[in-house]
Structure 1
């Protein structure tokens, strides 16, 4: 029987500690070469394409990728395939429209690009606000997922995992900024790939070796028109209130509150009931072979799980909104864009993007397989809705004993690497903006900003209620797509863009997404009454943002910057012509570097 008490998993704890120590050591070694503001902001723009691609992939493959994708496959089936597709395909748009011109602009942060292109310090401040907000919003699910991982392998509260991640990240960022984090994240990509690929191969081999059945001979039936079934006597503790679908007769033992009434003993749920509500703190016990009551909103049987949703216009809207958010949101994520400032030139930035797509495609094959296996081996997660734990729970369910514990330790360590890597990129990007736009831009200011960028999200992560990791990330993508995507695409390819139009588009697009976030949070606490477009608003907010930018820019054409033609030439001229002017050199470089820049000699 699956108990609810968390036992100390020495293998997993050892793996997490090894990852933590190794990450700190690699960061410490790399930080010794960092001494100037340019080192901390853009690694002196000397990062070559392959290392930069590994670093971008390392920070991009976050908790949503390592845990969330498999969890969504477990719960939603083929409808969740759009997440890994969108996460990867977003770099195609980035490569075609943004990467090379963005690097040639010479900017060192996203707000700096906005000011360089449109010449408005007020717009730069607005961009600074959204960079910080997006960074904090993206950090929250990383920290919450880190708490989930640590609390599953040892008897500690989730806050312990959050504090550990932030402590390691801030120490590395304090030591060497972008220069140190680049090496750390490149190393962490390959570590994450190993941590998810090896367990996947082994678990699939065990499954195939059993002839496609459970060890007790029960068939998989992933395409059967029935709910999944418990393969052993299972005890489930409900940590947050859930509504469960009942499609098959279910006998169970319950201790707690079910449908508003106290339950203490055997309970029978009839299919005619449709749904039951189980309150937090309730303990449910199911016998082996019992149909799994699945959390409301997910496919109720395996046949529906294996086919695209046919839920009508609402589901179709959600799907296209998700496509918009992931395809276009990538080019608006500050911690991704700042990576392209570290390349030597535009050609290297474009080559970096191509390598990223290859590395991401390789990684995302494995969460899909783990999600499908989880539907067979750990269906109890469908009762609580905490499907993000599928990757962590699957190894011991497939391989009871020491083998499963070792594989579980590998996946737990890989998940922890994901939190460290993504959190590092976010803290670096937010610190760079805080230090240059709020503080004075010195190395000491960068370090102060790093502490702020770590502590504030930590406090919010402890206070706010956790949600599905990938769904939280999806909202962040929607915000990035509705604010920075229109400004970047039009700023690079449309010469008539004005700072007034860009500001109006960011305010309207960002304001609509923020309003949707507030409504969604209120809805979750008051009965989940919000419609689907509130949970995935990008299909509405992104087109509106583009329209507002274009209309307002046309109405304010007299505000067109006087150096527009020169700025666009710099962004689109081939690299060998030498038009690149790195703004970090002009502001933070040595006297000799500024002299070379004034003479037109670009430092490569």
Structure 2
């Protein structure tokens, strides 16, 4: 309700195109960092990490480590230069840097695809939460979240969503922290039990979470999460709202602190779930551990109240991430018109396609589905951003080749895996965790094809590079990329 009210109020304060797309570039570091953290901490963070720790144990702690460390890479390599580009969206950056409509169109396709791929598990998580708590049909949660997100984004655009997502970060942190304290106290009251030494491994079906070659899968996960963060469309668009490059860097530092604090909590739920809810993986409900533990461990009215608080945080996770993704995708879909009316129409389309996907697909653990979106982002946008910002010899043919070979191969691998067509053994592992080979493919393709086409280096490369790397006070005379 609060999300809908704040989003609706955004209609009163968001009037200009700049308000809707980049909050008129007025978001300060603390507000922007809370908003970034709010939209970044998705269903995979709130439910999925605990579910994976419940099923697989400490090996899954690489997920929160990777999700957090990705911002360190972003801080070091692209945060300030990306803001100085002056773009509204990632396709804007690509066209401004490479002076190519073809590159812009291809980046738009990948932004839209990655955004939709990331939106599906948010909506599925909402369906799981509402079904567990109320017994409602699994289609109702996605429909409710989709309706609230469309209302919030279409009403106020980026300016109002910034306040909504900042509020939702603190709600999510409180919703996990307070019940976790009571759960740990209850565990201590039980004599601090541990798993029996001879406890059998938790059985899981052959699927996304199981790897025939776990070491390779771990490295694939690390590469995807470390490098995929910088290209996630809803993360990238946030840096365009900072007043300047220095603010963008400060925002990233605050984000590291905020999400680092949050990620201390889901593993607590996963560890306690191995003691009090070890049957959930057998029923395919590992992602529900966070929702069910307060009732199981504490029980009574107190367990119900804590469970309600967790459920509120879960819905905040779905709403905030879905809002950011919808904002990013709608911005790309409406990029030709730049009008508020077309932006609102694009918002409906941006949410409608993943809503249909969420209603048709099921059985994919949310953290694994999000990990696949990270792999696609790492294989396509990471090479484009790193080379576009730091290597002046990048050419449009090189960028196209890298996007198609790197991002395209990762997207194909994800499609095969999510469709259930991947066999077992090495074939399954390579397709389910593609980043370890698709990211190098993307970088190599961009470098080699660019070196083979030196005559295609854009004429404005030197001016663009100066704008990326010089303080705004020096580079302002050159204007912003448009």
Q: Deviations over 1:287-306 (max 9, x none)?
A: xxxxxx622469xxxxxxxx
Please, which of 567, 576, 584 is the counterpart of residue 473 of structure 2? 576
Please, which of 425, 428, 448 is the counterpart of residue 345 of structure 2? 448
- Relative to the length of structure 2, the TM-score reads 0.96
Please, which of 200, 213, 238 is the counterpart of residue 227 of structure 1? 200
Alpha-carbon deviation of 1:530? Answer: 4.7
1:317 aligns with 2:216: yes
1:531 aligns with 2:440: no
In 2, the alpha carbon distance for the partners of 1:54 and 1:164 equals 24
Alpha-carbon deviation of 1:529? Answer: 9.2
In 2, the alpha carbon distance for the partners of 1:446 and 1:108 equals 13
Please, which of 23, 30, 46 is the counterpart of residue 43 of structure 1? 23
Flag the 1:320–1:516 CA change in 2: closer, same or farther, 3 A. Answer: same
Pairwise mapping of residues 50-65 of structure 1 onto structure 2 (< 5 A)?
Answer: 50-65=30-45
In 2, the alpha carbon distance for the partners of 1:209 and 1:377 equals 14
Rg comparison, structure with higher value: 1
Q: Deviations over 1:17-76 (max 9, x none)?
A: xxxx11111222233110111111001001101100000000000000000000011011
- Relative to the length of structure 1, the TM-score reads 0.77
Please, which of 481, 503, 512 is the counterpart of residue 400 of structure 2? 503
Flag the 1:227–1:182 CA change in 2: closer, same or farther, 3 A. Answer: same
Aligned position for 1:203: 183
In 2, the alpha carbon distance for the partners of 1:567 and 1:226 equals 60
Flag the 1:546–1:578 CA change in 2: closer, same or farther, 3 A. Answer: closer
Secondary structure, counterpart of 1:506 in structure 2: helix
Aligned position for 1:237: none
Aligned position for 1:421: 320
Please, which of 363, 371, 379 is the counterpart of residue 482 of structure 1? 379
Structure possessing the higher relative contact order (Cα contacts under 8 Å, 6 or more residues apart): 2
Q: Please tell me whether the aligned partners of residues 523 and 529 of structure 1 are also in contact (alpha carbons under 8 angstroms).
A: no
In 2, the alpha carbon distance for the partners of 1:355 and 1:394 equals 31
Tell me which protein shows more helix as a share of its residues.
Answer: 2
Aligned position for 2:448: 551
Q: Please tell me whether the aligned partners of residues 72 and 371 of structure 1 are also in contact (alpha carbons under 8 angstroms).
A: yes
Alpha-carbon deviation of 1:335? Answer: 0.7
Alpha-carbon deviation of 1:583? Answer: 4.8
Flag the 1:581–1:158 CA change in 2: closer, same or farther, 3 A. Answer: farther
Q: Please tell me whether the aligned partners of residues 103 and 345 of structure 1 are also in contact (alpha carbons under 8 angstroms).
A: yes
Instruction: State the 4+ residue runs in structure 1 displaced beyond 6 angstroms.
Output: 525-529
Aligned position for 2:409: 512
Q: Deviations over 1:330-362 (max 9, x none)?
A: 011111000000000000001100000000010
Secondary structure, counterpart of 2:263 in structure 1: helix
Aligned position for 1:390: 289
Please, which of 464, 467, 471 is the counterpart of residue 567 of structure 1? 464
Equivalences, count: 479
1:183 aligns with 2:82: no
Which stretch shifts more, 149-158 or 183-192? 149-158
Alpha-carbon deviation of 1:524? Answer: 5.5
Secondary structure, counterpart of 2:243 in structure 1: coil
1:88 aligns with 2:68: yes
Alpha-carbon deviation of 1:402? Answer: 1.0
Aligned position for 2:9: 29
Secondary structure, counterpart of 1:294 in structure 2: coil
Q: Please tell me whether the aligned partners of residues 56 and 356 of structure 1 are also in contact (alpha carbons under 8 angstroms).
A: yes
Flag the 1:155–1:468 CA change in 2: closer, same or farther, 3 A. Answer: same
In 1, the alpha carbon distance for the partners of 2:363 and 2:321 equals 18
Aligned position for 2:238: 339
In 2, the alpha carbon distance for the partners of 1:429 and 1:485 equals 17
In 2, the alpha carbon distance for the partners of 1:176 and 1:521 equals 34
Secondary structure, counterpart of 1:295 in structure 2: coil
In 1, the alpha carbon distance for the partners of 2:148 and 2:437 equals 39
Please, which of 295, 301, 319 is the counterpart of residue 204 of structure 2? 295
Which stretch shifts more, 380-389 or 121-130? 380-389
Flag the 1:509–1:480 CA change in 2: closer, same or farther, 3 A. Answer: same
Aligned position for 2:363: 466
Aligned position for 1:97: 77
Q: Please tell me whether the aligned partners of residues 422 and 428 of structure 2 are also in contact (alpha carbons under 8 angstroms).
A: no
Q: Please tell me whether the aligned partners of residues 498 and 559 of structure 1 are also in contact (alpha carbons under 8 angstroms).
A: yes
In 2, the alpha carbon distance for the partners of 1:581 and 1:466 equals 49
List alignment gaps of at least 5 residues for structure 1: 1-20, 214-219, 229-292, 299-308, 585-604
Alpha-carbon deviation of 1:153? Answer: 1.1
Aligned position for 1:137: 117
Pairwise mapping of residues 14-25 of structure 1 onto structure 2 (< 5 A)?
Answer: 21-25=1-5
Q: Please tell me whether the aligned partners of residues 466 and 475 of structure 2 are also in contact (alpha carbons under 8 angstroms).
A: no
